[in-house]
Amino acid sequence: MNFKKIAAFLLALLLCISMAACAENADTKETTTAVPTAELIETTTETQSDVLEWVQCEGYELDENQEVKNIILMIGDGMGENILTNAEIVKGSKLSTSFMPHKCHVGTTSLSGVTDSAAASTALSCGVKTKNRYIGVDQNGDAVETIVEFAKARGLKTGLIDTHVVPHATPAGMVAHNGYRGEYNEILKGMIKAKVDVMLGGGAEYAETPKMQARIEDAGYTYITTAEELNTLTKGTPALGCFAFQDFTADDNPSLTSMTSKALELLEGDEGFFLMVEASHIDIFEAELDMEGTLKEMQAFDKAIDYTLRWAEEHPGTLVLVTADHETGGVIVPESGKAEDVNNDCFTSDGDHTDSDVLLFAAGAQSGKLITKEKIENTDIALLMRKALTDTYGDAPTNIITQ
């Protein structure tokens, strides 16, 4: 009898302990899913743009009827027509550019013949053909007004993004003036003097000398070097980010999409803006005859374009232009059309630039009225951007900033 009472007591005790544990687990589960889930969602939102992946594009609806308030010029360095086709073969679906409603071919030659990135950027920015290695100057070495200067003269904010060093040829041609593209220190001085609102890329080697740091501080820039610091930037002061000693690739962070996202956040406002975004390493991997590396860079660029077009959907008055400065690698499309045949054998120019036409894609504000021909020259892109901004903001005095 005593044994039965003891057993009953122990059974009741175990039942109470079990019920208490279940209640505690339920409380714990409710507590841990309410707070950490929100934190997890927030973290995922912040870091998703740094994941290297193909985005699935389903089309975009940008308003073409608004006046041009903002211009976003996106440049795939070395991105010829055939690498676009090869990227779609590997992706297995259309790139974001395929959903942009207007396109044409663009001639790229410079006064030196087959262009380099410096002469091409000068043509895209200033509207003049010049010699290779020249930045923001004509064939005589005289400074010509850049698109950043043109925009700033009309009160717009400006931004430049690339994954090479900040003063590299393409971003440099949007603002600086120099007879030699390799003068990185002098070019960076000019970019700072021009007061570009946002500059993001690599090149800490040039930005972190004592004299340059003093120049950056005197100009009022917030200087950052990490992806974490990028997330902390807020409107109000100009920002200069150098996230690598030299350059960085699609495998590194921050991604091109993250930099683009933050730049759009910082630049958006009543005054309008001009932003140039360059995928710098398409050209570099093509020059190295590395198709795998090239396709990673195409993947990163496609994702940044998709983000930009979706942003523009929500911001009427934005004109998005996507083009290339030149073609690199003499890329061919495999006859089989199979992904496994998109490999290093598709390069035919030993990694050199070629004089092949590239494509210009346009979407958003006034894009249908601006792209009306089957082929234009790269200098025409500078002219159509100027026309769009003049139509909205009017004329302004020429604004050339020399170093």
Tell whether the model's pLDDT for residue 41 goes beyond 70: no
List, for residues 203-255, the tens digit of each pLDDT value. Answer: 999 999 999 999 999 999 999 999 999 999 999 899 999 999 999 999 999 99
Q: Is 117 a catalytic residue?
A: yes
Contact between residue 325 and residue 24 where contact means Cβ atoms under 8 Å apart: no
Contacts of 36 (CB under 8 A, 6+ apart): none
Q: Regarding beta strands 157-165 and 273-279, do their DSSP bridges make them parallel or antiparallel, or are they unpaired?
A: parallel
Does the global pTM surpass 0.95?
Answer: no
Residue 47's pLDDT band, with cuts at 50, 70 and 90, is low
Q: Which residues pair with 72 in a beta bridge?
A: 275, 320
Neighbouring C-beta atoms of residue 290, cutoff 10 Å? 18
Alpha helices in 67-146 (DSSP H): 81-91, 117-126
Catalytic, out of 49, 96, 110, 117: 117
- 331-340 mean pLDDT: 97
List, for residues 66-82, the tens digit of each pLDDT value. Answer: 999 999 999 999 999 99
List, for residues 275-327, the tens digit of each pLDDT value. Answer: 999 999 999 999 999 999 999 999 999 999 999 999 999 999 999 999 999 99
Task: Report the distance separating Cα 319 and Cα 148, nearest Å.
Answer: 16
Contacts of 170 (CB under 8 A, 6+ apart): 75, 77, 117, 120, 121, 162, 164, 276, 278, 280, 325
Across 43-52, 86-95, 126-135, 147-156, least confident range? 43-52
pLDDT at 403 (0 to 100): 65
Tell whether the model's pLDDT for residue 4 goes beyond 80: no
Task: Report the distance separating Cα 177 and Cα 169, nearest Å.
Answer: 11
Query: Smallest Cα–Cα separation from 346: which of 31, 59, 85, 46?
Result: 85
DSSP assignment string, 52-73: ------------SSS---EEEE
Residue recorded with tokens 């290297």:
52
List, for residues 369-397, the tens digit of each pLDDT value. Answer: 999 999 999 999 999 999 999 999 999 88
What letter does residue 98 receive in the DSSP assignment?
Answer: G
What whole-number percentage of the chain has pLDDT above 90?
A: 85
All structural domains of the chain, each given as residue ranges with its CATH number in brackets, are: 63-393 (3.40.720.10)
> Maximum CA pair distance of the chain?
113
- 160-172 mean pLDDT: 98
Distance between start and end Cα atoms, the chain: 103
Task: Report the distance separating Cα 20 and Cα 15, nearest Å.
Answer: 9
